[in-house]
A and B are shown apart, each in its own frame.
Chain A
């Protein structure tokens, strides 16, 4: 149960970034570029699927990879330390999703309802 709770909390928080990019809500104030739409779709759609626990393992694997790229591309050049480079969230998402990609969505998930682990 705690696994499903963590999955839902991590995924809902992740979805904020997608809804900001796609719908401007909540508005983070950034200006859109070529990556905004694909990243927004990944974060909103992928985050939504993980929140529901549907196709949890493959989707979490993709999102973990996205966060690894984001950390090294956007945050790591700023500083070695996550607290100083603003990448603490990306780092935690990356490893949490990597674990979900192996462990699945836990007992409270659509994957369980449809009979998949």
Chain B
């Protein structure tokens, strides 16, 4: 096998950090305008973007460091499911065409993290919680 099975726990952490950072980026864009939002997304926030932006900011940061990984990932996964069906699903059946491909991937990746935890390289592992 090209990748040893023994790396699984560490690569789970790598997946968690990569997905968490990209997810956090949505929260910082909404709340802090960093990175600068594209045209059409720079308007004032409403209740939904405040709620989703807060989850992206807080859960995203927790996922990056791997603290409270399982509950944070569960909440983030649920938020992505709601976001997919509320925002993207009306735009068509196929995720690659309705703009919901990334949020769909987040949803299932975080659902797995909610079950599996943060892996070897996480604050949770350091403090003795899986």
Interface residues of A (CB under 8 A from B): 1-3, 5-6, 9-10, 13, 16-17, 20, 26, 28, 57-58, 61, 79-84, 88-89, 91-96, 98-99, 101-104, 117
Contact = CB atoms under 8 A, between A and B. Distances in A.
A58 B112 CA distance: 21
B3 A13 contact: no
B116 A3 contact: yes
B18 interface: yes
Contact of B105 (A1, A58, A89, A104): A89
A101 to B, nearest CB: 4
Given A81-B25, A92-B19, A58 B115 contact: no
Interface of chain B, main secondary structure:
helix
Nearest to A25: B94
Nearest to A61: B2
B88 interface: no
